[in-house]
């Protein structure tokens, strides 16, 4: 089962400094048919104006991953962590028992990013934050695990949920196949380019909700950058 969710049919909110698109219910966007996909609760597609950002605000009991597509985002939190995550890199915040953080675009250009929230399967731990550079060259023609709740994914940022965040870059005509275990769900968004997933076509920033598929084959119709979440 593959459900296409075109970008122009998901939730949209414009706040002047922030242009946000919501693949699932979030903020003032409410759709009872799109409350999440398995443990995947939020996939926001944010465009943040230069010199603006999210003021300090709290979170708890959520795994929050930020995939920066262009520009950069500056993180600061109540644990004293501070860091800049640039295009192509990823940061992970495990909100745990509670954390307050801010995220600002300190650059002189617009920043675009995906913010992805997954419900934890392990609770009660203290909050944590981490970031890592993942060179796009390493993702050419393959899907690379960027964040994972599985200890065997040693090079990925750790998250406290039985899920994975992966990304890859494909040249036009290239394909990659991802095995989806029984009972698992996947959500795929091409950050750029057009793709097919098991024959279902999608354009940049569309979403594809996938279940009950043993193998997920992604084929690039253009040069494409693809982001995938595998979750319960």
**Percentage above 90 pLDDT, the chain:** 96
For 26-79, the pLDDT digits (tens) are 999 999 999 999 999 999 999 999 999 999 999 999 999 999 999 999 999 999
Domain ranges of the chain: 2-231
CA distances from 160 to 83, 96, 153, 174 (A): 21, 9, 13, 33
CA-closest candidate to residue 5, choices 208, 213, 214: 208
Per-residue pLDDT for 193 more than 80? yes
The whole-number pLDDT of residue 135 equals: 80
- DSSP H/E element including 97: none
Rounded average pLDDT over 164-171: 97
pLDDT of residue 134: 87
Q: Give the pair of three-digit tokens for residue 121.
A: 């399967």
> What's the predicted TM-score (pTM) here?
0.97
Instruction: Provide the pLDDT for residue 223.
Output: 97
* d(C-alpha 68, C-alpha 73), whole Å: 8
Per-residue pLDDT for 136 more than 80? no
Domain 2-231 is classified in which CATH homologous superfamily?
Answer: Jelly Rolls (2.60.120.10)
Q: Radius of gyration (Cα) for the chain, nearest Å?
A: 17
Does pLDDT of 19 surpass 90?
yes
Residue 177: the pLDDT is 98
* pLDDT score, position 43: 98
Rounded to an integer, the average pLDDT of 92-119 is 98
**For residue 137, pLDDT beyond 90:** no
Positive or negative, the CA dihedral 128, 132, 136, 138 is negative
Cα three-residue angle 121-84-120, rounded to 5 degrees: 5
- Mean pLDDT for the chain overall: 97
Q: Are 222 and 191 in contact (CB under 8 A)?
A: no
3-state secondary structure of 174: coil
């Amino acid at each position: 089962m593959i459900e296409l969710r075109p970008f122009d049919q998901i939730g949209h909110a414009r706040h002047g400094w922030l242009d946000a698109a919501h693949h699932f219910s979030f903020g003032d966007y409410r759709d009872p048919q799109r409350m999440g996909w398995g443990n995947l609760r939020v996939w926001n597609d944010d465009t943040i104006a230069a010199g603006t950002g999210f003021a300090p605000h709290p979170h708890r009991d959520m795994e929050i991953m930020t995939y920066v597509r262009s520009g950069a985002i500056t993180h600061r939190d109540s644990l004293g962590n501070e860091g800049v995550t640039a295009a192509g890199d990823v940061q992970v915040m495990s909100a745990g028992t509670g954390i307050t953080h801010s995220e600002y675009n300190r650059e002189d250009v617009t920043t675009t990013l995906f913010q992805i929230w997954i419900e934890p399967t392990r609770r009660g731990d203290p909050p944590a934050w981490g970031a890592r550079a993942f060179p796009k060259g390493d993702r050419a023609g393959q899907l690379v695990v960027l964040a994972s709740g599985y200890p065997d994914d040693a090079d990925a940022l750790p998250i406290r949920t039985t899920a994975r965040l992966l990304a890859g870059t494909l040249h036009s005509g290239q394909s990659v196949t991802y095995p989806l275990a029984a009972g698992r769900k996947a959500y795929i968004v091409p950050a750029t380019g057009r793709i097919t997933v098991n024959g279902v076509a999608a354009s940049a920033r569309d979403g594809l909700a996938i279940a009950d598929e043993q193998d997920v084959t992604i084929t690039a119709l253009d040069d494409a950058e693809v982001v995938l979440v595998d979750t319960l």
